[in-house]
């Protein structure tokens, strides 16, 4: 899975796809934070890994030195997520995430109304129905895979609803998104995944031009910016981004949270007996199990805090590592459901801060609430069977749980 060989020195040769990092990045960050807070590797074309909150947030906010238009994925070469990597394929990349102002500013502005707190509320009842339907499918069995049978199934259907595309495409969407993010180290797979996404949306855009609806794709086709229609390649990139950004991320968060609750009966009981805890609990689970590591790729040589960063190298936006920094979070490796001071950066920091955070929070809350209402008494049946995926997005892929069956 890794670039070449196992990692022997995390300060000078790290690899975020190494199985040790995927399984337990926390202990690696803890050592690096003290000994080498900006780690470096020559793997994957050369990258830097900040592990302190201060560095991660400073870099995320400095869009002049650390732009997004040269690349935002953690691996080269020619990653289809990176603008300019495949001329003619997605000439504008997948804005707003892969762009800088001014493209970033207006593409983000077009998306935000669809993800506002008010709009998000309108997706809540379909999300709750969906969670109930999924649970109906396995509750009589007395066991399930909380990651594959539940967490993985939710965000892809919610985003299909928002985009106005058939729910029956969910399995294809999930496969493509996994190819792009989880298997990004395999060039063939990530190209295949991105091609699937692009081809699907080329068809969906053509269809919406003939039959406009009240969905996001139709609205983007009708939108005007400075009196002009939005270029279709931009719309294509934006739709692709929503699918890629909205699926694996949220499913990983729901999966990690359920794994945590299933493995910590005291926290499970608190959530059931003190439902008012839910808002702080959601933030704490997002902090502790932050799934997303983004990247910036340098367009020129840059020096940061004495580190000589070279053109084309990447800086990994280690938001998950920042969220475990003891300088900012007391007992960072403990999950404290009523943690009060929690300025986590699971959703990033600066102008690219997640546009879907309201939606993600709603999905996470509804998924946990519905599970606990229907299956309050559950536990991981075999911790050795739990598997994690990592790299750009970290989350569990298998979480076998058992519970008293209800027919």
Q: Which residues bind ligand HEM (CB under 6 A)?
A: 60, 72, 96-97, 108, 111, 159, 241-242, 245-246, 249-250, 253, 291-292, 294, 317, 319, 346-348, 352, 354-356, 359-360
Least distance CB 103 / ligand HEM (angstroms):
10
CA distance 359 to 391: 23
Which is nearer to ligand HEM, 328 or 359 (by Cβ)? 359
Shortest Cβ 320–ligand HEM spacing (Å): 9
Please say whether the beta carbons of 33 and 325 come within 8 A. yes
Per the CB < 8 A criterion, the answer to whether 321 and 263 are in contact is: no
Of all residues in the shown chain, the one whose CB is closest to ligand HEM is 356
Compare residues 39 and 163 and give the one whose CB is closer to ligand HEM.
163
Of residues 94 and 271, the one with the C-beta less far from ligand HEM:
94
Minimum CB distance to ligand HEM, residue 88 (Å): 23
- Rank residues 317 and 366 by Cβ distance to ligand HEM and give the closer one: 317
Backbone torsions φ then ψ of 224, nearest 5 degrees:
-125, 140
CA 121, 342, 320: angle at the middle one, nearest 5? 90
Please list the residues that pair with 228 across neighbouring strands: 225
Which residue number, 7 or 94, has a Cβ lying nearer to ligand HEM?
94
Closest separation in Å from C-beta 102 to ligand HEM:
13
- Cα 227 to Cα 199, 230, 236, distances in angstroms: 28, 9, 20
Name the percent of the chain in helix, strand, coil, to the closest 5: 50, 10, 40
Least distance between ligand HEM and beta carbon 250 (Å)? 4
Q: Are strands 395-398 and 143-145 parallel, antiparallel or unpaired?
A: unpaired
Number of C-beta neighbours around residue 119 at 10 A: 14
> Closest separation between CB of residue 108 and ligand HEM, Å?
4
The answer to whether 240 and 80 have CB atoms below 8 angstroms apart is no
CB nearer to ligand HEM: give 13 or 363. Answer: 363
């Amino acid at each position: 899975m890794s670039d070449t060989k196992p990692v022997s020195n995390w300060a000078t040769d790290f690899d975020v796809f190494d199985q040790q990092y995927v399984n337990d990045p926390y202990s690696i960050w803890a050592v690096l934070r003290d000994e080498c807070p900006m780690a470096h590797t020559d793997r994957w074309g050369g990258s830097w890994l900040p592990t302190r909150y201060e560095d991660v947030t400073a870099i995320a906010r400095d869009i002049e030195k650390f732009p997004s238009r040269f690349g935002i994925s953690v691996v080269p070469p020619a990653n289809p997520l990176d603008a300019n990597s495949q001329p003619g394929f997605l000439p504008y990349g997948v804005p707003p995430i892969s762009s800088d102002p001014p493209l970033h500013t207006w593409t983000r502005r077009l998306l935000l109304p669809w993800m506002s707190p008010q709009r998000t509320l309108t997706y809540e009842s379909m999300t709750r129905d969906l969670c109930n339907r999924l649970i109906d499918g396995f509750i009589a069995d007395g066991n399930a895979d909380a990651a594959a049978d539940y967490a993985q199934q939710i965000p892809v259907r919610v985003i299909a609803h928002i985009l106005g595309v058939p729910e029956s495409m969910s399995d294809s969407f999930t496969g493509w998104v996994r190819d792009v993010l989880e298997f990004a180290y395999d060039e063939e797979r990530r190209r295949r995944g991105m091609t699937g996404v692009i081809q699907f949306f080329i068809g969906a855009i053509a269809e919406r031009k003939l039959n406009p609806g009240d969905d996001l794709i139709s609205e983007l086709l009708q939108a005007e910016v400075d009196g002009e229609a939005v270029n279709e390649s931009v719309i294509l990139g934006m739709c692709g981004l929503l699918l890629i950004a909205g699926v694996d991320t949220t499913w990983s968060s729901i999966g990690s949270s359920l794994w945590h609750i299933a493995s910590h009966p005291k926290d499970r009981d608190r959530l059931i007996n003190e439902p008012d805890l839910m808002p702080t609990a959601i933030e704490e689970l997002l902090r502790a199990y932050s799934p997303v590591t983004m990247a910036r790729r340098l367009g020129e040589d840059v020096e940061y805090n004495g580190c000589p960063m070279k053109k084309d190298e990447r800086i990994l936006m280690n938001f998950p590592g920042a969220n475990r920094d003891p300088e900012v979070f007391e007992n960072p490796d403990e999950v404290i459901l009523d943690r009060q001071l929690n300025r986590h950066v699971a959703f990033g920091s600066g102008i690219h801060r997640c546009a879907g955070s309201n939606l993600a929070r709603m999905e996470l809350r509804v998924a946990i609430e519905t599970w606990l209402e229907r299956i309050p008494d559950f536990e991981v049946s075999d911790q050795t069977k739990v598997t994690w995926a990592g790299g750009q997005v970290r989350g569990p892929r298998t979480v076998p749980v058992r519970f008293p069956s209800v027919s």
